Amino acid sequence: MLKTSEILDEKDKRLRVISKECSFPLTKKDKELIHIMIEYLKNSQIEELAEKYDLRPGMGMSAIQLGVAKRYFVVVDEVEEGKFETYVLINPKIISNSLEQIYVDMGEGCLSVNRPVEGIVPRYARVSVEAYDMEGRKIHVRAREELAVCFQHEIDHLNGILFTDHIDPKNPYKGKDQMRAI
């Protein structure tokens, strides 16, 4: 099982690398890593397992956070207590977005940022993402609210961007009045 300590910390320069496109079929190693990421994210959202294995709760993880500079990420969304929806997006691209912008009221978090961060991160309220599944089939996913934020956050990782880069250090709540909190 993946340990929280194996996830790269924000100080690690590898997080700033722009990840490379994947080719198909995926390697056995990539498929295994995807399953490890899914297991970590699911377990991290189940309170007793998170405590037992000392996991920081997370909803999404990009391959680069484990030192693999390939364009894929996993999102495990708890849609109701104990029921999860899993997304594996390979070579994702945002193909459309809403004009409306939102931000996470409690502040965005990241498994690679182990400290409290003040400020808001402007995100689109809705996005449509084109990507590939693990078999190399093209998929389209429409996401809104928290899921849209998560997809944008993970795609940023693939481009070497951390959520903290979006926060204005001089005015961390800049533009708050023009956006909706979620």
Residues with catalytic function:
154
The Cβ of residue 31 has, within 10 Å, a number of other Cβ atoms equal to: 13
8-state DSSP, 7: S
Is the distance from CB of 4 to CB of 55 less than 8 angstroms?
A: yes
- Distance CA(98)–CA(125), nearest Å, equals 6
- Distance CA(109)–CA(68), nearest Å, equals 21
Strand intervals (E) in the chain: 60-62, 72-80, 83-97, 101-103, 123-124, 126-132, 138-144, 180-181
Place of tokens 């001089």: 170
Measured CA distances, 31 to 109, 151, 179 (Å): 26, 20, 38
